[in-house]
Structure 1
Amino acid sequence: MAHFRAQGEAKLLRQTQRISFITTAGALGALLLEAQLIKQQQPLFNKRLRRSKQLCSLRIGDGRVMIVHAKEIDFAVTPNLYGLFANRSTALAKLRVIADEQRLCYGKLGIDKLPVGAACFRFSLGKCAGACCGAESEQQHGQRLVTALEQIRINCWPYTGRVALEEQGDSLRQYHVIDNWFYLGSVSSLEQADALQHRASHFDSDGYKILCKPLMAGHYRIIELPG
């Protein structure tokens, strides 16, 4: 409740007529429920967790980096994707940051056009290691790119279907039902999980960000569900 006393939240507080709450087993369930409700109800002041219709990622192909969109391929099951970005501009900005940090060639990455038979301009400034002119092999350039991108690799959904993630609180146990990183809902028993069968119509980047680390690290008991 501390944020209701923050100076920047005065406008929100003046418009508040009532406060309700939903009890969850723990912090993970609260985060999942918050993200789900924001997408469903589209509240005026909560814009960060709304669904991005331009969600995209970086993908390596033929030595170049391509920008691919979630509306075209399923990010949950497609390998070799790197980073989640709200739009093409933010994806390109991240790629430029990586290129600058690693002295990668903008031309080889497809960011800029390479001059015919000459090194790129950034090579003359010492900002490119020279994959464009043979000072560095394309294999070395590609390996450095993959190494730099590895820290933002998207993990594919590691199960064949739905799972229930068990979260135990002081007085409440919940099973959060997940499929392809998409949060379907929470129930108090595994029998109730059968009712949560609908398939996700899109990749849920917020669900992925909330779930990936604790799920992959084995912090919770995971039960694979039939069907």
Structure 2
Amino acid sequence: MRMSAAAPDGPLQRIRYERRLAAEALGTALLLAIVVGSGIMGERLAGGNVAIALLVNAIATGAGLVVLIESLGPISGAHLNPAVTLVAWLRRDIDGRAAIAYAAAQTAGAIAGTITAHLMFARPPIEFSATHRDGPAMALSEFVATFGLIGTILGVSRARPGFVSIAVGFYIVAAYWFTASTAFANPAVTVARCLTATFSGIAPASAPAFIAAQIAGALAGWTLFTWLYREARPA
């Protein structure tokens, strides 16, 4: 998620392409193992208290994001999210070919991470979720969650580049609680969470609206925050 570090001719361009894709796939796989695995563990230990299960899920996800961004950012930029990659392409930090490859690697990694979480808890590798998350409120929640995520990345990377990973982790923990959808804010995560019939799952029929709202939120975030942080031109 350090998009500013991925500028053409920047340090990421000197890292071999396959290593960058591997980092995106691995990072997103670990992210989904954290999301799904902590959801399963939280639900098992919460004794039916959904609030505690959500709190466990949110804290684990936010903490995991900080570690993943710090460790993989120097290799690929640690987008771990096709919506973030879309904004990086719009900013011309990466080219179109790399953006498509990043998104594919992220999605494949996310699916692998969900399967890994299932296997760790002795569940079938793939279980289609029956948890419907439908309606305008859910779509608006995903729009807001993704809009805020992009704003966090663009704003903090400009003001305090070394603080991006912590800011993103904090934002996601908060967004788990202030959005009705629990802030997926990531198309690859949404696809992968269709494949788990656990606490963090989403029914496949609900996914298209989530993904459309996430893309719209990313575009709106890029538009507004690019304008907001634009340097004033000399008179």
The bucket for the TM-score relative to the shorter chain is under 0.3
Give the structure with the larger helix fraction: 2
* TM-score normalised per structure 1: 0.25
- Indicate the structure whose relative CO is greater, using CA pairs within 8 Å and at least 6 residues apart: 2
Structure with larger Rg: 1
Alignment TM-score, normalising by the size of structure 2: 0.25
Higher strand share: 1
